[in-house]
Amino acid sequence: MTYHENYQKWLDVTNLTDYLRQELLAMDEKTKEDAFYTNLEFGTAGMRGYIGAGTNRINIYVVRQATEGLAKLIETKGDDTKKRGVTIAYDSRHFSQEFAFESAQVLAQHGIKSYVFESLRPTPELSFAVRHLGAFAGIMITASHNPAPFNGYKVYGEDGGQMPPADADALTEYIRAIDNPFAIKLADLEEAKASGLITIIGEEVDKEYLKEVKDVNINPKLIDEYGKDMKIVYTPLHGTGEMLARRALAQAGFNAVQVVEAQAVPDPDFSTVKSPNPENQAAFALAEDLGRKVDADVLVATDPDADRLGVEIRQADGSYLNLSGNQIGALIAKYILEAHKTAGTLPSNAALAKSIVSTELVTKIAENYGATMFNVLTGFKFIAEKIQEFEEQHNHTYMFGFEESFGYLIKPFVRDKDAIQAVLIVAEIAAYYRSRGLTLADGIDEIYKEYGHFAEKTISVTLGGVDGASEIKKIMDKFRNQAPKQFNHTDIAKTEDFLELTATSQDGSVEKLTTPPSDVLKYILTDDSWIAVRPSGTEPKIKFYIATVGTSAQDAQDKIAAIETEINSFIK
């Protein structure tokens, strides 16, 4: 069906919601094409897109269709699964609450129970609640750290991780098989609540989550001596972190936390920031202002659904340094392993997990403490799968998992990135360095002196619209079939193709990779630097990851600059 036909199909719906009809009528030709040339892709992590009318947008009809597919999947599992039901949470974005309750009403129409949070809650609490309530699945309405025009829909499995491949694939098929999203029926909301098919949850689940969070911090005595009056600035960036982070910090004994109150208010327009992304220093502008006023040691920011954490640390000259996701990961890993070693509680089978595009610095740190590092594909569900494997096989004890994209998980009562947990451990790490008369900036320097000068950079190239997907495919094909022999005058020692599941060494020998297939290429150089390239799973982007090891910080950065220039030339 052409985009014109899809557009007309929507326009012909007699009971179409008024605001969507008005949007349709106001569309120019270019907007029509982008809104209707394809369907919003439902991948293994769910879907994310611009809010608005159209098949390539997120709106009540697309949400209903996704939930109808989930209902059909649940029906194949039997009545007990329908009774276990689905837990639903949502963030502060436009239409998030509406999408959440629309989902519950679709499920109720099929006799499937749902537990819906009374107001916005973090993604990690949704993951926890699925496990805590024994639900079969979870729905999180969020677009994570994307700008205000976006929203999204993520589906979780019964372990609290993103839905496993077999069910996710079946769900995708059920969704695609629905021809007419406008015919999907909804149960009456008040009747469904009265019958118990829709149960509203809130504070009782918050309390249970906060009970589990008590075990995140390792050394309460250290916090009592050096953390209770340590000045920390926190901003939830208008999102869900406000619901739990402040309470969790107070519970742990951090009594001198200052919150950026202007950003503690839920705001779907994120009016105080250009983008609510804690990866970007620009998002810390108000936190830095407050930090300077109160002389804060550390600034922490969570994204709108509170699964990602950004950190800035005060330097000797009083300015704030924005840490990379890899630097935060290295600080956390080093502290967790060192603190447990000091306390005599480091297990002999300690294990960490990270994505294949995250720094090898943390692998070096893990090895130094006798811990095993597991490399998994990008996507926190693969770390969740490792945790499940450790628990079932009793072969390793999970200590920490992370992705360079600012996602961290300390305790596995949650099975996704958890910025609330990460805030607590970062605050404890700051107290630890304070106890030694040092700062987090000194801690980073110590790590580099001990393990070498590592540097990393991620480049995201957005290629949206009708031709975006084909352009991304062309770039991947070029790297796969015509890859350079060197980067920065340094030979490629090994090429890993995670789609073909092959690792080809310089001498031509080939090993088999053991991960699930994924469209990722990784080039490991003879100086231990590496480059990876992959399309984003949730956005119209292609990402390039550059990681170098140098004789000094400047040397490592110079290598990154040279490789970045080569990549830019190669993809033109």
For the segment 115-152, what is each residue's pLDDT rounded down to a tens digit? 999 999 999 999 999 999 999 999 999 999 999 999 99
Q: What is the mean pLDDT of residues 231-244?
A: 98
Q: What is the mean pLDDT of residues 539-553?
A: 92
The pLDDT assigned to 316 comes to 86
In this model, does residue 538 exceed pLDDT 70? no
For CATH 3.30.310.50, the residue range(s) in the chain are 453-571
Q: What is the mean pLDDT of residues 542-557?
A: 95
144 is catalytic: yes
- CA distances from residue 104 to 93, 113, 428 in whole angstroms, order as listed: 18, 8, 39
In this model, does residue 67 exceed pLDDT 90? yes
For CATH 3.40.120.10, the residue range(s) in the chain are 38-209, 214-451
The pLDDT assigned to 43 comes to 75
SS3 325: helix
Cα–Cα dist 508/495, whole Å: 10
SS3 153: strand
Confidence of residue 552 (pLDDT cuts 50, 70, 90): very high
Q: What is the mean pLDDT of residues 73-77?
A: 97
In this model, does residue 385 exceed pLDDT 90? yes
The pLDDT assigned to 349 comes to 98
The pLDDT assigned to 166 comes to 86
Cα–Cα dist 535/549, whole Å: 25
Cα–Cα dist 205/226, whole Å: 31
The pLDDT assigned to 164 comes to 83
Residue type, 439: T
Residue type, 204: E
The pLDDT assigned to 390 comes to 98
The pLDDT assigned to 314 comes to 92
Determine what percent of the chain is predicted with pLDDT higher than 90: 92
In this model, does residue 358 exceed pLDDT 80? yes
Cα–Cα dist 49/146, whole Å: 9
Confidence of residue 572 (pLDDT cuts 50, 70, 90): confident
436-449 residue pLDDT tens: 999 999 999 999 99
For the domain made up of 38-209, give the CATH fold.
Alpha-D-Glucose-1,6-Bisphosphate; Chain A, domain 3 (3.40.120)
The pLDDT assigned to 44 comes to 67
Catalytic one of 144, 355, 405, 529:
144
Cα–Cα dist 414/392, whole Å: 16
In this model, does residue 70 exceed pLDDT 80? yes
Q: What is the mean pLDDT of residues 261-268?
A: 97
284-336 residue pLDDT tens: 999 999 999 999 999 999 999 999 999 999 988 989 999 999 999 999 999 99
CATH assignment, 453-571: 3.30.310.50
Buried (b) or exposed (e) across 190-202, using 16+ Cβ within 10 A? eebbeeebbeebe
Residue whose tokens read 């990270």: 354
CATH class given for the domain over 214-451: alpha beta
448-483 residue pLDDT tens: 999 999 999 999 998 877 678 888 999 999 999 998
Cα–Cα dist 245/447, whole Å: 28
The pLDDT assigned to 165 comes to 81
